[in-house]
């Protein structure tokens, strides 16, 4: 098998790429280094992958089209490239979200039409649900996105369904719930918290901190994503991929305090538009059809993320001193 991984320099994409390479699967990695966070961090995300001869990297902007050649030797497409983030998706930036999340997905699906038999795994988001009415939330819940970002992710899901129904592309959509772990995007909560602890600063929490999330460790997400590519005769989804527990943000801060061995000062700020109060994944369908079981507790995962943040900080400081 040869895999095409879009967004290979991103948070989840880089972990998925390394997992495939570790198992001897050649990877063609695609990324356009959009400006949602620093290019330098994305390049660091690719450092390990570049050590493999079986990794080829091509800087491509998917929304420009002409993608057919990318799929010539690929048996599976992992489409993780996206414009991420709920809070940034309002106003004039919405056009960027439409371009990178909807138009790019349609062009990649169109290219896949020329390659029958290719499995197309799409990374969607729990943001498609908006503020759900029941928890845990199952896939038969009517999606009601509360942000423009969620709207674009749902639109891309519908495109996957349309191409599956009309062009027999084996699409599978996965709805990721609050993914965290090493290399998390710097704008996301746990990444910000770890940096604040290392800088001996207070952390900012939106609202009262009682909002809950189904935090999912990145290695569990990678296992689910690979299962979606390898299990034969799989339905098109969508499948919820969650961490298995609903935890309030302040409880998560308490767990991080146990990890770092110190109290963390908290400053509360007003909630922002598009942030829902609660999420929780019903993963029964993924358990049954993808054989998905989350394996990493929040305490274990936060410890790994903080250890990674400490190591990365040390590497950066060493490079500054020697440079």
**What does the angle CA 16 – CA 157 – CA 100 come to, to the nearest 5 degrees?**
70
CA 30 to centroid of chain Cα atoms? 15
Instruction: Tell me the CA distances in angstroms from 141 to 124, 125, 128, 131, 320, one per residue in order.
Output: 15, 14, 10, 11, 50
One of 149, 163, 180, 239 is an active-site residue; which one?
A: 149
Instruction: Tell me the CA distances in angstroms from 272 to 114, 152, 168, 308, one per residue in order.
Output: 43, 19, 40, 28
**What does the angle CA 123 – CA 56 – CA 311 come to, to the nearest 5 degrees?**
70
Annotated catalytic residue 239: no
280: Cβ contacts below 8 Å, ≥ 6 apart = 135, 136, 137, 177, 212, 214, 242, 246
In angstroms, the CA 166 to CA 227 distance is 24
Residues carrying an active site annotation:
149
């Amino acid at each position: 098998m040869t895999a095409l991984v879009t967004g290979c320099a991103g948070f989840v994409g880089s972990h998925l790429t390394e997992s495939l390479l570790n198992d001897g699967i050649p990877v063609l990695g695609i990324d356009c280094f959009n400006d949602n966070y620093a290019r330098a961090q994305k390049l660091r995300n690719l450092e390990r992958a570049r050590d493999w001869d079986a990794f080829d990297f091509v800087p491509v902007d998917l929304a420009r089209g002409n993608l057919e050649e990318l799929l010539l030797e690929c048996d599976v497409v992992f489409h993780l490239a996206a414009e991420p983030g709920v809070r940034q998706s309002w106003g004039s930036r919405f056009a960027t979200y439409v371009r990178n999340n909807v138009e790019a997905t349609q062009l990649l699906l169109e290219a896949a039409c020329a390659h029958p038999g290719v499995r197309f795994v799409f990374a969607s988001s729990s943001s498609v649900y908006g503020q759900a009415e029941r928890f845990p939330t199952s896939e038969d819940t009517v999606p009601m996105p509360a942000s423009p970002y969620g709207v674009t992710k749902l639109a891309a899901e519908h495109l996957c369904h349309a191409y599956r129904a009309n062009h027999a592309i084996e699409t599978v959509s996965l709805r990721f719930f609050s993914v965290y772990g090493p290399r998390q995007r710097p704008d996301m909560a746990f990444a910000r918290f770890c940096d604040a602890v290392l800088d001996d600063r207070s952390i900012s929490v939106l609202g009262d901190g009682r909002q809950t999330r189904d935090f999912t460790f990145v290695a569990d997400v990678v296992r689910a994503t690979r299962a979606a590519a390898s299990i034969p005769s799989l339905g098109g989804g969508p499948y919820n991929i969650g961490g298995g527990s609903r935890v309030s943000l302040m409880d998560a801060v308490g767990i991080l305090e146990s990890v770092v061995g110190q109290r963390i000062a908290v400053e509360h700020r007003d909630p922002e538009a598009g942030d829902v109060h609660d999420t929780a994944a019903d993963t029964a369908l993924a358990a049954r059809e993808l054989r998905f079981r989350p394996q990493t507790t929040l305490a274990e995962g936060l410890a790994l993320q903080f250890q990674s943040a400490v190591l990365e900080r040390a590497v950066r400081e060493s490079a500054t001193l020697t440079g």
